[in-house]
Structure 1
Amino acid sequence: MTSIISRSDAPASVSAVTSTRLADGRELLYFDDTDRPRRRPSKDRRELPERGPAGEIRYDALTGDWVAVAAHRQHRTHLPPADECPLCPSTEARPSEIPAADYDVAVFENRFPSLGPEFAAAPAAPGWGTRGIAGGRCEVVAFTPEHTGTFAALSSRRVRTVIDAWAHRTEALSALPGVAQVFCFENRGQDIGVTLHHPHGQIYAYPYVTPRAAVMASAAGRFHEAAGGTATLTGTILAGERADGARMVVEGEFFSAYVPFAARWPLEIHVVPHRQVPDLAALTGAERDELAVLYPDLLGRFDALYGSPTPYISAWHQAPVDPVLRRSGYLHLQLTSPRRAANKLKFLAGSEAAMGAFINDTTPEEVAARLRDARTGTA
């Protein structure tokens, strides 16, 4: 049964949300480019098998990391032709993952999830041999009903709808039992490893704080404590980058984008709000409006550097759910690409893959200058 979710009293979101269920019980949400929901047929006409149980997570005692084991994902859809794309709207002849004949933005539970569908926190006090349920949720975000195109080419209004979807799902998933961290991201390009050509991203709700987030949270917490709770690490770095200027790419009223001082990747940009917020859900309407223009412009600059599509990973770093970690948490976007030249990629080989010690083939200052001069045609 389709239901209309009431909009929050907060003015930040301007997109109507409609919730429904797919044939196997997975949740699907439509986010509209207007604040009034469009009426759509909600029936998923497919006969789908019953959902399987969650996989497992195993503890690596050498590093303190959790590793998800999801062997069922070996059978997931891989680069299908356009007429078999699961993210295109359904037709009478071929129903897809999205039952509607048209949509603006759609978010649904992944049919082949790394985490979930059960919810369970990672086991406490783990050691060698500890395993647990891979609880949480994995969602797919279809940015557009069009099978071809890029995020950079979306209209500002559509980008705003995607931002509203990210914020909505961040807030909703963070409130679910056992969820420790919510991660919104997009992998773009076969060189990155995408398995669907249709423009889309993903959202993971983890049952543990991921290794990268744990390292950053620890550093942020130490800095915040040393400053007596009066300053944040990310905010201080942002102020330093804006004062220096050598690595700045774009400065807006609410956000700034720069190549970080110690960039790991040949192409890397950090997008940081000018005020401390823990996650996307905390952004105001004005902040979301500016981001809807600034973000696709940056993606366009990546493509403009070499005049052809650049593979990238767009990763939203949000504060973990833990209230203590959120005190010093600071939302920021990390946009990276392994493209180090028009026809060359940076591969994570011995030093990076084995030791985690990155060696960059470009200088942050040079990359920032080139990105400032890039003409995107998206603004």
Structure 2
Amino acid sequence: MKKTTTKLADGRELIYFDADDTASRDDRDLRPLAAVTPLSEIRRDPVTGDHVTIAAHRQARTYHPPADECPLCPSRDGRLSEIPAADYDVVVFENRFPALALHPAVADSGGADPLHLAFPGAGRCEVVCFTAGHDLSFADLTEARARLVLDAWTDRTAELSALPGVRQVFCFENRGAEIGVTLAHPHGQIYAFPFTTPRTARMAGQAAAHRARTGRNLFEDLLAAELGDPARVVLAGEHWTAFVPYAARWPYEVHLYPNRRVADLTWLSEPERSEFPKLYLELLRRFDRLFIQAGQTAPIAPTPYIAAWHQAPTLGGDELALHLELFTIRRTVGKLKFLAGVESGMDAFVNDVSPEAAAQRLREVAS
């Protein structure tokens, strides 16, 4: 892999990841972009203790542009985009409309009042373009390209974790308009948070309680239990296992764990990295075959999903385990799982599909 770092016209960083070590990346961004200082602050909810990011400048971000104006396609035929090159393998760049930035404009508004604590939204938000092909998806990538994306995620995890004040790095992909995606080009994002996210904090609390109760690691015991009773196992490789969790929140939800517990992507071994693309691509292709209308042989539309890498925070994450959570908000053909009163109001999920039935369906649609 060859990594080339350059700058966009407004000073944002852009990084090319190329499979070809001889690739030349000397294209300049010729757009007349002025540097922008994002307005971002983080406020603490005194009732729950959660951190909420306030980033009002994001209201102006690009929203469903036509394909010939896609900002994530290469710059071609006189049309300039976020990527100056005429083609690329994998590209990562600083988000033009970030929720978090290294130097946000909002000053620290926190004070002595414990009910109104706030601090600058200092962090980093990056966009990861998986391919130059606008009409492709991650599931269309070759194993070699998927491995290059994994290498890019790993590189960014290492670099962002080392930034002052960063507490957690989150790599993820939103796919589909139903999820809320505003750019159709196949891409994901990376957030470098200045705090540990609420879900990770809850995981850490459960892991600590399990250790105190049993003397063992929660995630190692969890994976062993799923392998011991494989009713919910979807895929099992030499180095990775994918299963539907016992208390799945979403109609179709799969967790993909390396069989060896590691804290984050940087800890993966070469055999683990080599096996990941095949298993992950198979999972994504199965998701696309889940919802087929009666009498049809192909899905009506690609399955919307979220793919989320859970990594240990930079501080206090010794008991946590790297894993990827993949889930869709579609519960059956033509119907979505909406987070209405119970889920949104009380954070108490009700799942319309049993985890065992979901796992069986995901096994049935194997390649």
Give the equivalent residue in structure 2 for 1:351: 342
Give the equivalent residue in structure 1 for 2:317: 326
TM-score, L = length of structure 2: 0.94
Tell me how far apart the structure 2 counterparts of residues 126 and 60 of structure 1 sit (CA, whole Å): 12
Partner of 2:59, secondary structure, is helix
Partner of 1:328, secondary structure, is coil
Give the equivalent residue in structure 1 for 2:296: none
Give the equivalent residue in structure 2 for 1:7: none
Write the letter of the residue equivalent to 2:303.
T
Give the equivalent residue in structure 2 for 1:367: 358
Q: CA RMSD in A?
A: 1.8
Q: In the alignment, which of 219, 229, 232 is matched to residue 234 of structure 1?
A: 219
What CA deviation, in whole Å up to 9, does each residue of 1:187-234 have, x standing for no partner? 000000001000000000001011111101111122234444xx3211
Give the equivalent residue in structure 2 for 1:169: 156
Residue 260 of structure 2 corresponds to residue 275 of structure 1 = yes
Partner of 1:201, secondary structure, is strand
Give the equivalent residue in structure 2 for 1:104: 89
Give the equivalent residue in structure 2 for 1:199: 186
Residue 247 of structure 2 corresponds to residue 262 of structure 1 = yes
How do 1:52-71 and structure 2 match up within 5 A?
52-71=37-56
Tell me how far apart the structure 1 counterparts of residues 108 and 38 of structure 2 sit (CA, whole Å): 16
Tell me how far apart the structure 2 counterparts of residues 210 and 126 of structure 1 sit (CA, whole Å): 23
CA contact (8 A) 2:109 2:117 kept: no
CA contact (8 A) 1:122 1:207 kept: no
Tell me how far apart the structure 2 counterparts of residues 33 and 187 of structure 1 sit (CA, whole Å): 25
Q: In the alignment, which of 13, 19, 25 is matched to residue 40 of structure 1?
A: 25
What CA deviation, in whole Å up to 9, does each residue of 1:260-283 have, x standing for no partner? 000000010000111110011111
CA drift at 1:329: 1.4
How do 1:106-145 and structure 2 match up within 5 A?
106-118=91-103, 127-145=114-132
Give the equivalent residue in structure 2 for 1:8: none
Tell me how far apart the structure 1 counterparts of residues 176 and 137 of structure 2 sit (CA, whole Å): 10
Partner of 1:166, secondary structure, is helix
CA drift at 1:37: 4.5
Tell me how far apart the structure 2 counterparts of residues 188 and 56 of structure 1 sit (CA, whole Å): 27
Write the letter of the residue equivalent to 2:312.
A
Can you give the 5+ residue segments of structure 1 that lack an aligned partner in the other structure? 1-14
Can you give the 5+ residue segments of structure 2 that lack an aligned partner in the other structure? 292-298
Moved segments of 4+, more than 3 Å: 119-126, 225-228
How do 1:330-341 and structure 2 match up within 5 A?
330-341=321-332
Tell me how far apart the structure 1 counterparts of residues 129 and 212 of structure 2 sit (CA, whole Å): 40
Give the equivalent residue in structure 1 for 2:144: 157
Q: In the alignment, which of 68, 72, 76 is matched to residue 91 of structure 1?
A: 76
Identity of aligned residues (%): 55
Q: In the alignment, which of 16, 27, 36 is matched to residue 2 of structure 2?
A: 16
CA contact (8 A) 2:37 2:103 kept: no
Tell me how far apart the structure 1 counterparts of residues 13 and 125 of structure 2 sit (CA, whole Å): 11
Tell me how far apart the structure 1 counterparts of residues 195 and 114 of structure 2 sit (CA, whole Å): 15
Q: In the alignment, which of 209, 223, 237 is matched to residue 252 of structure 1?
A: 237
Tell me how far apart the structure 2 counterparts of residues 125 and 341 of structure 1 sit (CA, whole Å): 51
Give the equivalent residue in structure 2 for 1:311: 304
Tell me how far apart the structure 1 counterparts of residues 307 and 113 of structure 2 sit (CA, whole Å): 31
Tell me how far apart the structure 2 counterparts of residues 23 and 374 of structure 1 sit (CA, whole Å): 46
The structure-2 alpha-carbon separation of the partners of 1:51 and 1:149, relative to structure 1 and needing over 3 Å to count, comes to same
